[in-house]
Each structure stands twice: as C-alpha cells, then as structure tokens.
Amino acid sequence: MFDWLKKWCTKDSHATSPHFEPASYQGFDIHPEPMAEGGQYRLHGRITRLKDGELQEYRLIRSDLLPSAEQAAELMIAKAKRVIDENGERIFD
C-alpha cells in the first residue's frame, strides 16, 4: 500500500550529489562527498594520503545534515582538518 512512499524515500537517499574538488591540508587530501538524504545532505567524505606508493584512505561520515551540498562539503573539510590536527597519521592505523 505504501510502496510508492518507500520508493520515493529511498530514491532520494541515492540521488547523486555534486562533485567537489579535493582540498589539500598538511600532506593529506580531503575529498568532500555529501550524501543526499531526505532533502538534505549528510556530511560525508574521505581523507586520503599517498605513502610509499600506497593510497591510504579514511572515511569520514557524520550525523550532520545540512540544507545544501555546498554547506555539507564546506563543513566536511573543516571537520576533516580537525581530525587531521587531532590524529595526524594515526587515522590510518
């Protein structure tokens, strides 16, 4: 009976988000990848670093929901910088 509602809600959560260029910070690359969810955008992205020819990656997903992908990307970069400042290379352990 409510299949149309279920399809509508799940379709929104898989919508493609705009692409944002990575930001470099203290030898790390921050890739903001906001996730569309319920008409808003969840803070999501990756922190990467190339070390000895190997790509290291740390996924950053937070509960923050923002009204635009641009705001989510901006906040993701700020939070990623804080994670880098607090943990440095240990984020890849």
55-85: pLDDT as tens digits: 999 999 999 999 999 999 999 999 999 999 9
pLDDT at residue 8 tops 90: no
Measured CA to CA, the distance from residue 8 to residue 79 in angstroms comes to 31
Q: How far is residue 69's CA from residue 40's CA, in Å, rounded to a whole number? A: 8
Tell me the pTM.
Answer: 0.78
Please check the confidence at residue 10 and state whether its pLDDT lies above 90.
Answer: no
Pairing of strands 35-37, 28-32: unpaired
SS3 71: helix
Using the predicted structure, report yes or no on whether residue 14 has a pLDDT greater than 60: no
Does 3.30.160.350 match the CATH number of domain 12-92? Answer: yes
